[in-house]
């Protein structure tokens, strides 16, 4: 029986590289590309099948920044599959950084000047916006949408005879200093990507404890 692997954000970047690597390791997988842009996903599917004709590659449309889209995709996946062996939560966004001029000049005359220029911490800020669901876009895309996905697909995971694996792509930019429980969506801050990745790390630990408590 083919192993079924679901990858979000599979049509470009790290997600696409991951799909290519998975099929290089095992070209008899059933790989499901969870993507927002269907035209792009179809092109990637054709590309993967040309290189790995023995594989089975399918597509499900999902926009993790939209709860309705996530729920619709989960319903479709539950109709297609009896189980999912691996889920790679890879989709995410990082707003284009902007130079914080005020922080630059204040940092020049502080003890943190070397740290500031070696890490760019505090120098670059990011602009976030609200989604149709009324949530901060970075938080919903990187954290909340994937959390809903896992909750909805729980019935396809963690079968006792052969446990599933959920892998959530983190980042070295995940910093505790940029995260606050009082503002977990980071609506008042200027580092939404870093905050979302730290929140994702916390949630990953909680989910791991929940799924492996038995």
Residue positions annotated with a catalytic role: 193
Q: Rounded to an integer, what distance in angstroms lies between the CA atom of residue 92 and that of residue 95? A: 10
Question: Do residues 142 and 200 make contact, with C-beta atoms less than 8 angstroms apart?
Answer: yes
Q: Is 121 left (phi over 0), alpha (psi -120 to 50) or beta?
A: beta
From 131, 159, 150, 154, select the one nearest 89 (Cα to Cα).
150
Determine the number of helices (DSSP H) and then strands (DSSP E) in the chain: 8, 7
The Cα 132–Cα 136 span in angstroms is 10
Running DSSP on this structure, what letter comes out for residue 141? I
Residue 21, classified by CB atoms within 10 Å of its CB into exposed (0-12), middle (13-18) or buried (19+), is exposed
As a dihedral over the C-alpha atoms of residue 207, residue 8, residue 17, residue 98, rounded to 10 degrees, the angle is: -90
- Spatial contact of 36 and 12, defined as CB atoms under 8 Å apart: no
């Amino acid at each position: 029986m083919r192993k079924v692997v679901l990858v979000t954000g599979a049509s470009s970047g790290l997600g696409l590289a991951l799909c290519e690597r998975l099929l290089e390791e095992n070209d008899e997988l059933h790989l499901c590309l969870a993507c927002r842009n269907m035209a792009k996903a179809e092109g990637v599917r054709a590309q993967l099948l040309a290189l790995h004709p023995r594989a089975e590659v399918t597509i499900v449309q999902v926009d993790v920044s939209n709860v309705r889209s996530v729920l619709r995709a989960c319903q479709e996946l539950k109709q297609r599959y009896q189980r999912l062996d691996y889920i790679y939560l890879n989709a995410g966004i990082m707003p284009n950084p902007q130079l914080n001029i005020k922080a630059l000049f204040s940092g020049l005359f502080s003890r943190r000047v070397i740290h500031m220029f070696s890490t760019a911490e505090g120098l670059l800020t990011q602009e976030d916006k609200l989604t149709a669901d009324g949530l901060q876009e970075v938080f919903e895309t990187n954290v909340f949408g994937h959390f809903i996905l896992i909750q909805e697909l729980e019935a396809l995971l963690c079968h006792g005879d052969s446990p599933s694996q959920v892998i959530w792509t983190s980042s070295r930019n995940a910093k505790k200093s940029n995260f606050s429980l009082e503002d977990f969506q980071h609506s008042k801050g200027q580092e939404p990507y870093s905050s979302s990745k730290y929140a994702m790390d916390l949630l990953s630990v909680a989910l791991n404890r929940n799924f492996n408590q038995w």
